[in-house]
Structure 1
Amino acid sequence: MAFLGGGNPASIPEAEEIFAQTYEAIGRDKSHLRSILGDYSGPIGNEDLRSLAAEALALELNFPLTKEHIAFFNGSQNAFYFLLNAFSGTMPDGTFRRIGLPIVPEYIGYADQTNEAGVFAAFLPNVEQDGPNRFRYTLNAKQEYPDDLGVLVISRPTNPSGNVLSLREIKDLHSLCVKRKIPFLIDLAYGNPFPNLIGKEEPIHFSPGMVLSLSFSKIGLPGLRFGIVVADPPVIELLSSFAATGNLSAGNIGPAFARIFWKERTLEYLSNHILRPYYDTKLQMALEILEGVFQTEKIDYLIHKPLGGFFVWLYFPSISITNQELYELCKEESVTIVSGHYFFPGLVEHFSHREKCIRLTYCRSEEEIAYGSKILAQLVAKHS
């Protein structure tokens, strides 16, 4: 089997040793452990730890944050459910607001989060050649956005393509949101300040009007289900109201890890000295394998320039079957991939990338990537 379709982070021994030491430290503090296991936290986390988070993140995000800017959730996906539904759909005044995706493809997890149908409005990117067998999506600077948008949403780096919007593009989108008085949601699950898988791109800093979503999942702790929202205090108050009934409590295990990480500045070391070098090496290995088998099979392919995250986004211009059909054929050969058609919610225009792109993870072993790449290349060659 080659599981090249999932979103799990890689198993990295150096990172797992840090996690084990942190877990043991939590267990040794018996009085604190009793509170962690036996007490409910507040709906968006306890105030002392939110203050600690604000202090730590203020340095990383270059803004004087307070606990009123911070909310904890059971994973960033949980937070996005509340956020997307708060700013889209039927409003109290009877108007209908949509979620703007200024560039697609975009994260698969947003599509099924909303309570009402027809809330996504997606906009086509520019597609630019970026060297041999490489391309890159960029924001369409001439795009005119409709008046019914209630929020703009991006991920940086983008899941699935590994794209990282430039700070110029971020500034333009933020200015639009400020002008229209709508929030700008930025999903930083793979971005800064942790795990900081943004290649050579500049980090995002917080500004009023932004809603930043952070997660411990991609540092290697998806089982903790710990997400952090950084936003203006009125947005945090709104989220607290949702969380009080939707979650009751933010949980204590993730925040217990976070307390130690922030006090010991573990996340900076983990991100920049363990995770980034590891994933950079894994990416180069995966690209060498993929391009080797693609060229052996003489297939027509383009790879989105992988600027961040841990996925490879592939476009097969000459393939004669859809990406969903390709998924089914790969599955028959014990190879899992993700069909790209899932990553375009709300797009009404025709765009060949929707039917001809797939997403692969490079977090798996070299053997799995080699086997899966060979099967994939043979199937694409057969159906081109």
Structure 2
Amino acid sequence: MVQEEECLRIMTPMQNPPSSLWANRLRQNQGIRSLMEDLGQVTGHPDEILLGGGNPAHIPEAEAIFAEAFQSLAKDPKLGALLGDYQAPIGNDRFRSLAAEFLSPHLGADLRKDNIAFFNGSQNAYSYLLNIHSGKMMDGSFKKILLPIVPDYIGYADQSIEADAFLATKPEVIRTGNRRFRYGLNKTEFDLSIVGCVALSRPTNPTGNILSNKDIEWVEERTQKQKLPLLIDLAYGNPFPNLIGQEEPIHYREGRTLSLSFSKIGLPGVRLGIVVSDPDTIETLSAYAAVGNLAVGNLGVYLMEILFRKEILTNLAKNILRPFYDKKRELAIAIFESEFQKHGIEYEIHDPMGGFFLWIRFPNLSVTNHKLYHLCKDKRLFIVSGHYFFPGLNSDFSHTQDCIRLTYCRPEEELARGAHILAEIIASHQTKSE
């Protein structure tokens, strides 16, 4: 009998151990997880069309610069330290001082090493920044993260440890031309009463929208009165890769926390993010980094040293990256509009002011954008459903269900095949205009 009970015990599957509410949220359907798993599950099949991810384009001229930098590191006597020594949690003082010196003229501020922190990607940095300024406060209150204009970056939504930490309002929709529109800042519903910080990306991922300096100063005037930090994500912005079209650059000033990334210059595998902020925030980030990361990786900061030398990175952004992406954007728009019009598709494109995405609305779509994503995936076409980009928005807004994000970083032939398949699918899943 004892042996029988023991046998049954062994054969009975173990139940999952109890988990935290945060763990339960992380296991649910996340936009950023879905996006990155799609990238990871790519098989290399010739029919796959990868218009979903945020991977930068492979630009031969840029990759030649990176290859030369890697070769220089391989021959450097400091290679042993690169491979065999830990950095400090947010980077050694030498590299932080170097970054401060390089960034000062580009960000219009007199920066010191105490204004600089390195992280294993700006995504990693934001997971700490957002939790520093939101959730349960020491005075017992609960503070939220305000996204002043949505849609915004897919990766913000699940970074807060506390649930229901985001707040957003429906943006203005500004018609800018035939089949063109732009989202504008909703100033009438701007409310900071339960807010711990304000966060935005510039250019905005996913739309390419660029909030003007005038609008940012309007927001900042209100955050300063409440002594709230303004977090500005410059992953696609100035000073690198500087994909900001004709708009003015952002500068650093007290009350702002800026984040920069090496991913969009063409080095996503290196995982280097740079935070520029006040010394107190940097010190708090150092404590987070020590616990969460132990140390920042060495490769990124050693490459940074080479690319900052003699303004190599500045010239790369100005003379290679911006011309390349400007040309790709115009090509992609022409390809997609041609296919949409051939198939009688009703569509609207957000003015692509910067970055390297197209945000497209299909007002007559008869299925949700999430369903459209699966229909496309069945045809080996990868896109991103727009419903993920509105964290904290609780009001009805049709754009949450009928918009998608596409990258135009892929080769022309791949863009053309993707546009054709997408147009065919939408043509069979749209209601007729009256």
- TM-score, with normalisation over the residues of structure 1? 0.99
Alignment of structure 1 residues 342-353 onto 2, 5 Å: 342-353=388-399
Deviation at 1:101, TM superposition (A): 0.4
1:4 matched to which residue of 2?
51
Letter in 2 for 1:64: D
For 1:21 and 1:221, how far apart are their aligned partners in 2? 14
What does residue 299 of structure 1 align with? 345
CA drift of 1:260 comes to 0.9
Q: Distance in 2 between matches of 1:18 and 1:136?
A: 36
Which range is displaced more, 175-184 or 305-314?
A: 175-184
Q: Which residue identity lines up with residue 39 of structure 1 in the other structure?
A: D
Q: Does 1:322 find its partner at 2:368?
A: yes
- The offset of 1:144, in angstroms, is 2.9
Residue in 1 that maps onto 2:179 = 133
- Residues in 2 aligned to 1:374 and 1:73: alpha-carbon distance in whole angstroms: 40
C-alpha distance in structure 2 between counterparts of 1:88 and 1:94, whole Å: 12
Q: Which residue of structure 2 aligns with residue 224 of structure 1? A: 270
2:214 aligned partner, one-letter code: R
> What CA distance in whole angstroms lies between the structure 2 residues aligned with 1:184 and 1:154?
8
Aligned equivalents of 2:190 and 2:69: distance in 1? Answer: 49
Letter paired with 1:20: A
Q: CA offsets, 1:172-229, max 9 Å, x none?
A: 1111111111110000000000000001111000110000000000000001100000
Runs of 4+ in 1 over 4 A off after TM superposition: none
**What do residues 283-319 of structure 1 show as CA deviations (whole Å, max 9, x unaligned)?**
1110010000011111110000000000000001111
> 2-side partners of 1:352 and 1:92: how far apart?
38
In structure 2, what residue type is equivalent to 1:4? L
CA distance in 2, matches of 1:294, 1:160: 20
Kindly indicate whether residue 311 of structure 2 is the aligned counterpart of residue 265 of structure 1: yes
Larger Rg: 2
Deviation at 1:332, TM superposition (A): 1.1
Residue type of the alignment partner of 2:123: Q
SS of match in other structure, 1:224: coil
State the Cα distance separating 1:170 from its structure 2 match: 0.9
- Residue 362 of structure 2 aligns with an amino acid whose one-letter code is F
1:1-384 alignment runs, 5 A limit:
1-30=48-77, 32-384=78-430
Of structures 1 and 2, the one with the larger relative CO (CA 8 A, separation 6+) is 1
The alpha carbon displacement at 1:132 in A equals 0.9
Distance (whole Å) between structure 2 residues aligned to residue 144 and residue 298 of structure 1: 39
Which letter does structure 2 place at the counterpart of 1:17?
A
Rounded to whole Å, the distance in 2 between the matches of 1:11 and 1:222 is: 11
Deviations 1:234-266 (A, max 9, x none): 110110111111111111100001111112211
Q: Partner amino acid for 2:69?
A: T
CA separation in 1, counterparts of 2:419 and 2:116?
A: 42
State the SS of the aligned residue for 2:155.
Answer: helix
For each residue in 1:125-166, what CA deviation from the matched residue of structure 2 results, as whole angstroms up to 9, or x when unmatched?
110111111000111122331411000000000000010000
Tell me, in whole angstroms, the C-alpha distance in 2 between the residues paired with 1:108 and 1:269: 30
Which letter does structure 2 place at the counterpart of 1:333? K
Structure 2's unaligned 5+ residue stretches are: 1-47
Q: Secondary structure at the match of 1:108?
A: coil
SS of residue matched to 2:90: coil
Distance (Å, rounded) in 2 between the aligned partners of 1:14 and 1:344: 36
Q: 1:8-40 CA deviation, whole Å, 9 max, x = no partner?
A: 00000000000000001111112x111111110
SS of the equivalent of 2:161 reads coil
SS at match of 1:103: coil
8 Å CA contact retained: 2:148, 2:190:
no
In structure 2, how many angstroms separate the alpha carbons of the residues matched to 1:319 and 1:156? Answer: 29
Q: Is the 8 A contact 1:102 1:124 kept in 2?
A: no
In structure 1, the residue corresponding to 2:413 is in which secondary structure?
helix
Q: Secondary structure at the match of 2:214?
A: helix
Report how many residues are paired: 383
Q: CA deviation at 1:365?
A: 1.0
**Offset of 1:369 from its aligned partner?**
0.8
The root-mean-square deviation of aligned C-alpha atoms, in Å, is: 0.7
* 1:268-287 Cα shifts (integer Å, max 9, x gaps): 10001000000011111100
Indicate the residue corresponding to 2:4 in structure 1: none
In 2, Cα distance between the equivalents of 1:217 and 1:375?
A: 29
3-state SS in 2 of match to 1:300: coil
Identity %: 56
